[in-house]
Amino acid sequence: MPRKSPLVIGHRGAPGYRPEHSRSSYELALAMGVDAVEPDIVATRDGVLVLRHENEISGTTDVSQHPEFASRRTTKKVDGVSLTGWFTEDFTWAELATLRTRERLPRVRRSSASFDDAQPILRLTDLLQMISSASDEYGREIGIVLEVKHATYFESIGLDLVPLIVRDLRQEGWADGALPLVIEAFEQTVLCRLRAAGIAASYVYLIEASGKPFDLVAAMGKAAPTYRSAVTPAGLDRLAGAVDGISVSKSMLLEPSATIVADAHARGLKVFTWTCRPENAFLAALYRAGGGKAAFGDYEAEWRVIADTGVDGVFVDHPDLGVGFFRD
C-alpha cells in the first residue's frame, strides 16, 4: 500500500534540542518516533568515519580549547572554498575522541548550547549500532539516511571514502538490504561507486538551489552543469535509472509553480527535501513572525505547502514537531 505521509527524518538527530550529531541528539530523535536519522560522514587521518557536519570542526567541537592541537589550525580549500580551522583529516580517531561536541548555532539554539562540551564525537559504527538497538527497543524499523560529505576532496588527499563506507556498513550488517539504508550525496560520482561496490541501498542525489556539483567541476571545470539543470525535465530524464531519488533544498519547493516533485515522480524518482525548521531564521520571509531569529514563526503554514507537493521525505531538526505535523 502506498505511504500517505512522507518519511520523517531526524536531520543530524534532533539538533533543535541537542548539539547536532551528538549521542543525545540521536537518542532523542529515535525516542521521538522518526522513521530514520541522517548523519553526515567525514574521515579521520587513520580512516575512521566520524559524524560531523563538515570536516572543519571549529564550530561544532571544543577543539579550539585544546592547546595540544593549536598548531593544527590551518587554511585549506575544500570544494573550491577557502576555510580556516581544524580539519578531521589532520587528526587520528584517538585524538578526535578527546574532543566534545558543541552547538553549531548557539545564538539561535541557546537551549541546545547548554549541552556543549558534554559529549564525545561519534563514529558511523556507533550510530549504526544505536539504530539497530533502538529498532529493537521501540519495536519499529528505523532507517539511516547516510550523507557522504566531500567525497572528491577526500579522494584527492588520499582518503577515498568509498572503501571506508563499504567496510563499516558490511561490518555492522547494513550492506545487504536487510535494513533500511539510504545513501545521499551532493556528488553523483560517489553514489555510482557505492552502488557498483554492491551496497544495497536507495541512492539519492542531493541538489542545491544554486551552484554546481564539485565532482563535475573537478572533472569539467567551467563546463560543469549546474544543480538546477538536474531538476529540469531533461536533467531528471538523465537521473532516472542512475539514482533512486533526489533531495532538494526546500526553497525550491516553495517557489511559485514549482513542479519538481510531480516531474520526478513521473520518472519514478522519489523526492526528499531539507530542512524543515520552525525558527524564523530558517523560514521563508512569508512565514516569519516577531520575536527575532530564534522565535518560532508560522512554520506549519510553510510545512503545509511542502507537504502538499507530495514529497516523499522531509528532514527535520525538531523530530517531535515533524512527526506531529507530517505523519497521518
Domain membership flag for residue 272? yes
Residue 194 within any structural domain of the chain: yes
Domain containing residue 312: CATH number: 3.20.20.190
pLDDT above 90 coverage of the chain, percent: 98
**Residue 2 in domain:** no
Cell of 207: 541538489
Residue span of the structural domain in which 52 resides: 7-326
In order of 61, 146, 311, the CA distances from 240 in angstroms are 39, 21, 17
pLDDT in tens, 215-263: 999 999 999 999 999 999 999 999 999 999 999 999 999 999 899 999 9
Is the residue at 193 inside a domain?
yes
Nearby residues of 168 by Cβ (< 8 Å), 6 or more positions away: 49, 124, 125, 128
| pLDDT band at 1; cut points 50, 70, 90 | very low
309 Cβ partners below 8 Å, 6+ apart?
Answer: 253, 258, 260, 261, 262, 271
Structural domain includes residue 123? yes
DSSP 188-209: HHHHHHHHHTT--SEEEEEE-S
Let me know the angle formed at the C-alpha of 222 by 216 and 227, rounded to the nearest 5 degrees. Answer: 50
| 144 contacts 40 by C-beta, under 8 angstroms | no
Residue 107 has a CB neighbour count (10 Å cut-off) of 11
Split into its structural domains, the chain has a count of 1
Count other Cβ atoms within 10 Å, centred on residue 26.
26
pLDDT (tens digit per residue) in 175-212: 999 999 999 999 999 999 999 999 999 999 999 999 99
Paired strand residues for 184: 147, 204
Average pLDDT over residues 260-280: 98
Q: Where are the alpha helices (DSSP H) in 97-150?
A: 110-113, 124-138
Q: Are 69 and 86 in contact (CB under 8 A)?
A: yes
pLDDT for 328 equals 72
In a domain, 1, yes or no: no
pTM for this structure?
Answer: 0.97
| Closest among 122, 146, 123, 143 to 132, alpha carbons compared | 143
